[in-house]
Amino acid sequence: PAAGVSLRLRSTRAGLSEPAIDRIIRVDHAGEYGADRIYAGQMAVLGRSSVGPVIRQMWNQEKEHLRKFNELMVKYRVRPTVLLPLWNVAGFVLGAGSALLGRKGAMACTVAVEESISDHYNSQIRALMEEDPEKYKELLQIIKQFRDDEREHHDIGLEHDAEAAPAYSVLKTAIQLGCKAAIFLSERI
């Protein structure tokens, strides 16, 4: 570029720094991608069981979340995390592995993941509200709706005996630690 002028075509955003908005969209996209893969793994194992329709319903909502974040990635010109291939495999393995423990194991995974994600969405909502709720109105509306869907999935998991899964508290803690690591990495890489 001549005289130090950037030719990069990108809208500028006042308020939260551009990297902060990029991180929000990148990590939420990665999380919805991971959720899609988890439910795909659960369906591979339990799709024909009595809980299959319940898993399918939650998976369909996650597919809609992923579709919306794919749109936001384009709109805001945000690159996805380079870790998507890892989240593809890890998500499917987590979903299928928890489902191999049976319905209760799959639902324990759902409770752990959805609680982590709804808490993460709540943190983002607070940050956007503190910054400029009017400016980030669209993003806030999307995140709030998806947070509510995740809470619903969490509650469905509890209603389907998640807490009766073998070693529930250990399983939940391990999955939530994995979620925190995935969030941390996906925001940055």
Question: Is 187 within 8 Å of 27 (Cβ atoms)?
Answer: yes
Determine, yes or no, domain membership for 92: yes
Determine, yes or no, domain membership for 3: no
First to last CA, the chain: 27
- pTM, two decimals, is 0.90
Question: What is the rounded average pLDDT of the residues 114-126?
Answer: 97
Work out the mean pLDDT of the chain and round it to a whole number: 92
Question: What is the rounded average pLDDT of the residues 67-83?
Answer: 96
DSSP state of 81: P
d(CA 159, CA 54): 11
Determine, yes or no, domain membership for 2: no
Domain residue limits at 106: 19-187
d(CA 88, CA 80): 13
Amino acid at residue number 88? N
Weakest-pLDDT range from 4-13, 87-96, 129-138, 152-161: 4-13
CATH code of the domain containing 157: 1.20.1260
Determine, yes or no, domain membership for 14: no
Determine, yes or no, domain membership for 143: yes
Determine, yes or no, domain membership for 12: no
pLDDT of residue 18: 78
**Token code pair at residue 89:** 């495999």
Q: Quick check: 13 pLDDT over 50?
A: no
Determine, yes or no, domain membership for 24: yes
Question: Is 157 within 8 Å of 110 (Cβ atoms)?
Answer: yes
- pLDDT digit string, tens, across residues 31-69: 999 999 999 999 999 999 999 999 999 999 999 999 999
CB atoms under 10 Å from CB of 50, counted, come to 9
Domain count, the chain: 1
Higher pLDDT, 39 or 10: 39
- pLDDT digit string, tens, across residues 144-182: 999 999 999 999 999 999 999 999 999 999 999 999 999
